[in-house]
Structure 1
């Protein structure tokens, strides 16, 4: 039976690169980027030395990392610090959310201070409304007093 079953084989067989060859190419590419003026003779000599380095590097890495060198700028490597190296007195950088929260609280406090002083538009509107209500209550109190006096006068006159 053919390789692909009844339908036949489509496409080519997959060819995989040797991990040592990939590492060698990556090292050569990095050297060219760092030293564009370097000649090939020096890279040939370093290939023999770097092959032993590549083997030790691949032993240290586990899984796919040994085969593929990852250059992801978003990837953050975990750097462990010794307790002696950690500076407790240094100010800690705040996260974006923490900074926004602090700014929000400060702006709210500023607004409340201005509001209490009567400098905000809402405070002015509130004070005007309170003045109107105060006047209405005073007028209502005067009317009640007048009505009370009239009733008292009427009851005195009837006696």
Structure 2
């Protein structure tokens, strides 16, 4: 089943487990977002919205779009202007398409929680491995003795004082 949702002034055709970028949404990676502006579900078309329909999604990542350069030049006037812009975007993964005012299923919540805990465990192990590797590298390198600093030569102003 698919749905058409509206977010960020645009419309998106979505299905379960789709991943795509939308205009920036408030939240961190792993947070749940519910879209209530559903324009169409399957063959049911809203007028303008489908009553009781919602789409749940998970924020995968907060990211930024490509840099867009705006360059203006006025010929023979020695005038030019360059501006750059990068749009803030959010990568989301669609979870469920709900109709008739239903709430998100507990099974989907449990799967997200389990996946998040597995991710944090893998990240913790990787961080420990990185810390151990850097400690070994630091222990292997002998410290080189520093040469003593040379004293500055006396100047005429020092003699006068």
TM-score range, shorter chain: under 0.3
Structure with higher helix content: 1
Using CA pairs under 8 Å that are at least 6 residues apart, name the structure with larger relative contact order, 1 or 2: 2
Calculate the TM-score normalised by the size of structure 2.
0.25
Larger Rg over CA atoms: 1
Calculate the TM-score normalised by the size of structure 1.
0.25
Structure with higher strand content: 2
